[in-house]
Amino acid sequence: MIDTNDSETFNCETCNFTCSKKSNFLKHNSTRKHIVLSNNLQITSTSDFVCSCGRNYKHRQSLHKHKKLCNTLKPTNLINENATNNFEKLANLLLDVVKQNQELQKIISLSQK
Say if 55 falls within a structural domain: no
Start-to-end CA distance of the chain, whole Å, equals 116
Domain boundaries, position 15: 1-44
Q: What is the pLDDT along the chain (113 residues), one digit of tens a residue?
A: 555 555 789 999 988 999 999 999 999 999 988 888 888 766 666 668 888 888 888 888 998 899 888 876 555 566 677 777 888 889 999 999 999 999 999 999 998 87
User: Do 28 and 42 touch, CB atoms closer than 8 A?
Assistant: no
Residues 76, 84: Cα–Cα separation, whole Å: 12
Which pLDDT belongs to residue 30?
92
Cα–Cα dist 31/47, whole Å: 23
Domain tally for the chain?
1
In a domain, 25, yes or no: yes
Strands (E), 1-113: 10-12, 17-19, 49-50, 56-57
